[in-house]
């Protein structure tokens, strides 16, 4: 299966993602425009974020860091988090269980 | 957290991976040498494979295809699969639940 055959969805302004869904995993491949913001939120799904390209300022439970290429963050269930793209970014997120609202 | 700070483990000959573990997700970042083989096996964990670089010949439940960059495969729980690296490869696998034996 080719990633490019998955239609990209704009989940928030400037935050476009291709999603792969299994039975218990969602894998999101994001292209994020500089300046795009993800407001603070939380969800029952465990999440692991991996920055491939760009700089993403990310706040997890009140702690802010700038993440660049080859970094990752484990975001436990129900812990509040938010972010802003300091540059254009390519980021992957993996979730379990599936993010049904991303289908 | 930096991926390069995770110690790589050789799980099979020529198959080296850095592992991130959450509570319900394992994310493996593989560097695979040309010619390395993964014998047929299966596991209860759902798995999604994503090829970043190289060519990987992969057999899922008897169906063989060659996967190149920007491809993916969803491997349901308990479905047999195997593979061989036709070139050096960079591949990611995501599993749920956690692959405890990779900790």
- DSSP three-state, residue A102: helix
* C-alpha distances in Å from residue A82, one per residue of A40, A43, A66, A77: 4, 12, 12, 14
How far apart, in whole angstroms, are the C-alpha atoms of residue B44 and residue B7? 26
Residue A50, chain B, CB below 8 Å: the answer is yes
Residue A27, chain B, CB below 8 Å: the answer is yes
- Answer for the pair A53, A98: CB distance below 8 angstroms, yes or no: no
pLDDT in tens, B32-89: 999 999 999 999 999 999 999 999 999 999 999 999 999 999 999 999 999 999 999 9
Residue A76, chain B, CB below 8 Å: the answer is yes
Compare CB distances from B22 to A1, A46, A50 and report the shortest one's residue.
A46
pLDDT in tens, A36-64: 999 999 999 999 999 999 999 999 999 99
Q: Which residues are bridge partners to A82 per DSSP?
A: A59
C-alpha R_g of chain A? 13
Residue A18 Cα, gap to closest chain B Cα (Å): 12
Any domain includes B57: yes
Any domain includes B70: yes
CB contact under 8 A, A3 and B72: yes
Number of domains in chain B: 1
Any domain includes B21: yes
Tell me the residue range of the domain where A64 lies.
8-102
- What is the pLDDT of chain A when averaged over all its residues? 97
Confidence of residue B5 (pLDDT cuts 50, 70, 90): very high
Any domain includes A1: no
Residue A79, chain B, CB below 8 Å: the answer is no
Any domain includes B2: no
Compare CB distances from A48 to B4, B27, B46 and report the shortest one's residue.
B27
Any domain includes B73: yes
Residue B70, chain A, CB below 8 Å: the answer is yes
Any domain includes A46: yes
Any domain includes A30: yes
pLDDT of B47 reads: 98
Question: Residue B86 is part of a domain; what is its CATH number?
Answer: 2.60.120.10
């Amino acid at each position: 299966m080719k990633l490019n055959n998955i239609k990209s969805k704009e989940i928030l302004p400037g935050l476009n993602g291709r999603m792969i869904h299994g039975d218990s995993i969602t894998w999101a491949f994001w292209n994020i425009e500089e300046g795009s913001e993800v407001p603070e939120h939380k969800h029952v799904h465990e999440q692991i974020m991996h920055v491939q390209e760009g700089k993403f300022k990310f706040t997890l439970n009140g702690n802010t860091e700038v993440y660049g290429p080859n970094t990752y963050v484990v975001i436990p269930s129900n812990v509040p988090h938010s972010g802003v793209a300091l540059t254009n970014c390519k980021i992957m997120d993996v979730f379990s269980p599936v993010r049904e609202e991303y289908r």
